[in-house]
Structure 1
Amino acid sequence: MVGGGGQLWREYVLKSVADSYDLWLFAPKAPTWESRYLRGNTIVDTLDAFESIESAVRLAESVEVAGVLCYDEIRVPVAAMMAEELKLPTANAEGVLACRDKYLGRQALAAAGVAQPVSRAVASLEEAREVAEAIGYPVVLKPRALAASVGVVRADGPEALESAYSEAAAAYFDEIPRDRAWVLVEEYLDGPEISVESVCRNGRVTPMFVARKALGFAPHFEEVGHTVSADDPLLHDPAVRRVLQEAHTALGLDTLVTHTELRLTRTGPRLVEVNARLGGDLIPYVARLATGVDYGMVAAALAAGAQPDVTPVRTASAHVQFLYPEYDLDVTSLTVEEELPAGVHEVRLMAEPGRRLRLPPRDHVAGRYAYVVTTGASPEGCADALHAAKPLVHLAGTPVD
């Protein structure tokens, strides 16, 4: 396992995988919450491919390594290189890198004629203006190698471009080096957005489930909720399946679980991006409630060379909704009532008193104070349960400028 991730977001994966496999964690720091699920660990810079591969080879001399698994967005390229060196099932490291670097991915997809937005990399505001005029407004500006919608913003016209460019250009993660042409300017795709979790085995793509996104905080693209239905008709939609297969083939992806984002435009589904990992935001957790399939185990089995069964064992819907304050504040109290209505599977508080919550774009995921997971026979049933649950979560705080 390369990278443990945050406990709130990934413990459910580690827990289920540890029930069937011995796990050895590669991470830059000693394990904390992960320890109960591990057989052992190696402290190594998991962004240094040479050092990580060398450590993996040494480990393989003393224990049998069945596979390499990674759900950490910025570490998946190194994990793929480790698997290649150990001659284990893998995605193809070059393809994974193209998923991680959106500019490289766009180039590969464009060369194969995959349906996607027009996209150009720019290194200055002047270049951004030229590209936006050529594409036509509205446009979307985004950093080429981040995640969680950080720095992604829509500009509806020339008057909005400078602030959108400044935001995209300033966005960064500490562990990710910045390229000179750091910002992508892209055609805006209208229509609902979905994500599709798929098994790709020897290059053949099988969709497992569809998550329908709820977006907020326009002109940004904050993901505020996800709904999964086991019998979603989009799973069998020929156009969706065609774009999925064409994208994976264009990127050269081989054996892995992927999280692909699409827009359902008036002219058909068009690709937003392919991620060479399990989806975040608790999407696989919610999907398990809807389908009965453990998607962490699917990813682990695939990494170990097995052929996992992804057939749903139940037909239901499930939803996760993230709660945000109405304005920026310092939390003074956060509670949830004990008696929860039918259909509410879980309410999790995500902030302690003293925590400062800031709304997007000042903060993104960090601005959430709770999440609510609901289940039902349909998306409408999930929505009804959510409507009943939200008033039972009580947030109080002091406004901040």
Structure 2
Amino acid sequence: MAKKALIMVEGASNGPLFVRTARRLGLHPVLLSADPHRYDYVSMENGEAVCVDTSDVNAVIQQCNSLRESYDISGITSSLESFYATVGKLCRHFGLPGPNPTSIERCCDKAAQRQLLAEAGVPIPAYRVAANAIEINDAAVEIGLPVILKPGVGSGSSGVRLCRDPDEVAEHTTYLLGGKHIWCSPPRILVEEFAQGPYYWADIMGDQIIGIGTADFGPPPHFVFRGYTYPARLTNEERQRIADVCLSCLRGLSLGWGPTNVELRWTKQGPVVIEVNPRLPGTPIPQLVQAANGVDLITAHIKLVTGEKWDLREKQSYIARAQLLVPDRDGILDRIEGAGRAAAEPGVVEVKLFTEPKALIVRRGDYRDCIGHVIAASRGCAQTEAILQRAVGFMDWSITPPRSLGE
């Protein structure tokens, strides 16, 4: 009997979790990538990485056909949003459970997403779509400062900035259109009203809302996460209003199969949707959810794509919090210490470092600025925060500033 395989198209922050979980579920993980050398964790988990042009659906289909000579392909998925529509097309071709590729493509186009949400009556920030500096400036004036400028396609807050005055609008316009930002599609920029208020996210599988968390950011003008708390402290009414808005998003975007992550701000008018992501949230949120209520999002997702029965029932009731380790300067990371002591602190769930000493640190104002995280969980919010701060206090690192590198 052929070995059962889980095919993954490219990887992202959750990639190691998918590979590890697939192995635990008795599946052979096979990652298809245009650059397999980026994913050394696959071979470390006795998986397989195959080189193929993942931007070419037909090439990926051919590669999957070749793999079927050796494996029984049980499911196909990806932890990366930009390849999730490809996953949907592959699943339809091979008769496997998967998302609707048309819905995914429309959702990943931020302008199309906002138009569909607006038509469905979902509360969203005022926005305009612009293609050049004149259109961007006119849109900022029409909406009123401050505004958010962001690429029409992308994730992880890459290229996203708060612009508080005309000079900042002009500066970020030059950055986005002047060749510094890497575009994966023809340049289109969203000029968006700055929805002010606490940030929340909701994790959804199918049409079932698993839970709602909250997060905080570093200083503006960028939106770099500094910490996550799960579940968020909400009244029953607040929780219901967020849930209702999220379900309206699913209907408006024709989603409802597989994972969805909805990001919101609670403004003076109530919940306003910032983004709908047709995928699981990135690390450390799956670990945070499991630490809080025992729900394993990765396992549930893999079981869904392989046609197995999945379980989203809560098994415990803890408060979990993650603090991200974010440098305050660019340079060379001389050392990073204390991970062992932090991990040994009672109540600490995970300490993870993404960067090795001697690595070059270049802050970009997005998800790539994070060099690690610490997660703690307990039965009380204050207790969890105390555990987390003790653990983070053990962490220490030093960075040689750029001006010193040539001295």
Specify if TM > 0.5: yes
Give the Cα–Cα distance (whole angstroms) in 1 for the partners of residues 72 and 334 of structure 2.
50
Query: How far does residue 121 in structure 1 lie from its aligned partner after superposition?
Result: 1.5
1:249 aligned to which of 244, 248, 251: 251
198 and 219 in structure 1: CA distance in 2 versus 1, 3 angstrom threshold: same
The alpha-carbon deviation at position 60 of structure 1 amounts to 4.8
1:19 corresponds in structure 2 to 24
Alpha-carbon distance in 1 for matches of 2:167, 2:47: 56
* Change in CA separation of 1:235 and 1:395 when aligned onto 2, cut-off 3 Å: farther
My pick for the range that moved more, 120-129 or 367-376, is: 367-376
Per-residue CA distance 1:312-347 (angstroms, 9 max, x = gap)? 101001121111233223222221164343322333
- How many Å separate the matches in 2 of 1:335 and 1:319? 21
Residue pair 1:100, 1:145 contacting (<8 A) in 2 also: yes
Residues 331 and 241 of structure 1: CA distance in aligned 2, closer, same or farther (over 3 Å): same
Aligned mates of 2:266, 2:180 — CA distance in 1? 27
Aligned partner of 2:196 in structure 1 is 190
When structure 1 is superposed on structure 2, of 231-240 and 205-214 the one drifting more is 231-240
Q: Tell me how far apart the structure 2 counterparts of residues 152 and 386 of structure 1 sit (CA, whole Å).
A: 29
Give the corresponding residue for 2:15.
10
Contact 1:3/1:46 (8 A) holds in 2: yes
In the TM superposition, 1:363-378 aligns within 5 A as 364-378=366-380
User: 294-303 vs 374-383, which deviates more?
Assistant: 374-383
Q: Does 1:229 align with 2:231?
A: yes
CA contact (8 A) 2:318 2:380 kept: yes
Match of 2:83 among 69, 75, 79: 75
Return closer, same or farther for 1:231/1:301 CA change in 2, 3 Å cut-off.
Answer: farther
Give unmatched runs, 5+ long, in structure 2: 1-6
Q: Deviations over 1:246-297 (max 9, x none)?
A: 1111111241111111111121211111111111132111111111111101
User: Are residues 1:199 and 2:205 paired?
Assistant: yes
Tell me what 1:395 maps to: 397
Runs of 4+ displaced beyond 4 Å = 36-42, 57-63, 230-236
- Give the 3-state SS of the residue equivalent to 1:255 in structure 2: coil
Q: Structure 1 residues 15, 303: CA separation in 2 closer, same or farther (over 3 Å shift)?
A: same
Q: 2:348 aligns with which of 344, 352, 359?
A: 344
Other-structure match for 2:120: 112
**Greater displacement, 334-343 / 135-144:** 334-343
Query: Does residue 1:56 correspond to 2:64, yes or no?
Result: yes
Deviation per CA, 1:158-179, whole angstroms, max 9, x where unpaired? 2321113233445644xx5331
Aligned residue among 173, 181, 185 for 1:178: 185
C-alpha contact 1:229 1:379 (8 A) present in aligned 2:
no
Contact 1:2–1:72 at 8 Å: present in 2 too? no
Change (3 A) 1:323 1:313: same
Other structure's SS at 1:345 match: strand
AA in 1 matched with 2:277: N
Give, in whole Å, the separation in 2 of the partners of 1:234 and 1:77.
35
What SS does the corresponding residue of 2:264 show, helix, strand or coil? strand
Matched-pair contact (CA < 8 Å) for 1:26–1:44:
yes
Distance in 1, Cα, partners of 2:278 & 2:111: 15
CA offset digits 1:92-139 (Å, max 9, x no partner): 101111222212212222222221112222111110111111112211
Q: How far apart in 2 are the matches of 1:275 and 1:337?
A: 32
Distance 1:321 1:128 in 2: 35
SS at match of 1:74: helix
CA pair 121-297 structure 1, distance change in 2 beyond 3 A: same
Work out the CA distance in 2 between the residues paired with 1:89 and 1:171: 39
Q: Which amino acid aligns with 1:178?
A: S
- Alignment size in residue pairs: 391
Q: Which amino acid aligns with 2:192?
A: E
**Which of 100, 107, 125 pairs up with 1:99?**
107
1:85 to 90, 93, 115: 93
Comparing 299-308 and 254-263, the one that deviates more: 299-308
Rounded to whole Å, the distance in 2 between the matches of 1:143 and 1:237 is 30
**Aligned match of 2:164:** 156
- Matched AA of 1:156: R
* One-letter amino acid of the counterpart of residue 335, structure 1: E
> Structure 1: how far apart are the matches of 2:400 and 2:285?
32
Structure 1 residues not aligned, in runs of 5+: none
1:273-352 map, 5 Å: 273-336=275-338, 338-340=340-342, 341-352=345-356
Question: In the alignment, what sits opposite 2:273?
Answer: 271
**Secondary structure of the structure 2 residue equivalent to 1:65:** strand
Residue 36 of structure 1 and its aligned partner are, at CA, apart by 5.1
* Counterpart-to-counterpart distance in 2, 1:33 and 1:138: 42
Q: Is the 8 A contact 1:334 1:395 kept in 2?
A: yes
**Distance apart, 1:307 and its partner CA:** 4.2
Q: Output the CA distance in 1 between the equivalents of 2:302 and 2:316.
A: 22
Percent sequence identity is: 25
How far apart, in 1, do the equivalents of 2:257 and 2:80 lie? 17
Helix, strand or coil: the match of 1:333?
A: strand
